[in-house]
Amino acid sequence: MTVTSARRAAQLGFLQAIQQAQHEEMTRDERVILMGQDLRANVFGAAQGFLDDFGPSRVRDLPLSEAASVGLAAGAAMAGLRPIVDLTVASFMFCAMDQFVSQVAKSRYMFGGQARLPVVFRQALYYHGGTAAHHADRPYPMFMNVPGLKIMVPSNGPDLKGLLKTAIRDDNPVLCFEDATLWGRHGRGPAPDGDDHLIPFGVASVPREGSDVTVVGIGGGVRHALDAAADLAAEGVSVEVVDPRTLVPMDWPAILASVAKTGRCVVVDPANRTCSAASEIAAHLVEEGFASLRAPVLRVTSDDMHVPFSPKLEKQIYPSKEKVVAAVRRVLGMEK
């Protein structure tokens, strides 16, 4: 990799990661098609030049109906195509719940493996920006409860690119949740290794090693974990940050190994507290890693309430660096 290309990759943000992953996979495999609303005009910024490069048969603008979009993509996948569906905002997934749960997730099983569903659904976790309750949900825990779906929640651009390319090549349906709070500088990370940058599902990363407490971060929670770890280091506290990257499958061995080393765990999850991914991780640690724990597992999540339109009120309900610092101090018995 040249110095110029390495610098470009090191500054890979979320939109660039999506563009690169989709373009590379559409170039590699003519069965890969892009579907969604206003793609040909590149309204949402992740399909620049795609119409010119791949033509209207592979860049499909769809009507404003999430149920129709998801159902159409499922049928196209079973017929031999490999669709990538841009649903824009994760809250809109609720409009297509029957298609997701009854068709996409179950068809391969119910047809005895005779049907494959190589389809990827992309949607943004569009919270923390005053978009109010109809646009700001973080619904990935709901879909963790549906067998047959793989789920990725990357925390930086390079991981997003590598996971998305892996998802497009997978013969099973994948839900790609893109945390919009990471679209700026916090969405950047280390350079991918060439154009064939692939990250396997079910393999966590450890962006920061430590010895006193494990902080598992999900999506934007990784940023809060790393910021908190930097502040706590000044107090002599060594924080290990674990990023699962995919929630289904989950890298349980990596999480258990980290907690076996530190003896303490805090989970930072932007979703609502009840039945969250954080709750599942905490339950798993109690069942499988109880002997390693020297303190209760703590969750730093969003409050169980709808998202208010007021930016000042909205900000209070989400995880933050300050809340993570407070939770770490609590598990270490050093509350102020």
Tell me how far apart the alpha carbons of residues 216 and 235 are, in angstroms, rounded to a whole number. 20
By residue count, the chain amounts to 336
Q: With 0-12 CB in 10 A as exposed, 13-18 as middle and 19+ as buried, what is 125?
A: buried
Please report, for the chain, how many H helices and E strands are present, in that order. Answer: 13, 12
Candidate list 23, 128, 135, 197, residue with the active-site label: 135
236: left (phi over 0), alpha (psi -120 to 50) or beta: left
DSSP-derived letter for residue 43 is T
Question: What one-letter code names the amino acid at 116?
Answer: R
Q: Both tokens of residue 159?
A: 């991981």
Whether the Cβ atoms of residue 25 and residue 32 lie closer than 8 Å to each other: yes
Q: Is 135 a catalytic residue?
A: yes
Instruction: Quote the distance between the C-alpha of residue 159 and its chain's center.
Output: 10
C-alpha closest to that of 302 among 123, 179, 186: 179
Strands 174-179 and 59-61, sheet pairing = unpaired
Sheet holding 82-89, edge to edge: 59-61, 32-36, 82-89, 120-125, 174-179, 150-152, 246-248
| CB 261, CB 128: distance < 8 Å | no
**CA gyration radius, the chain:** 20
CA distances from 202 to 166, 244, 260 (A): 11, 7, 19
78 phi-psi bin (left φ>0, alpha ψ -120 to 50, beta other): alpha
- As annotated, the active-site residues are 135
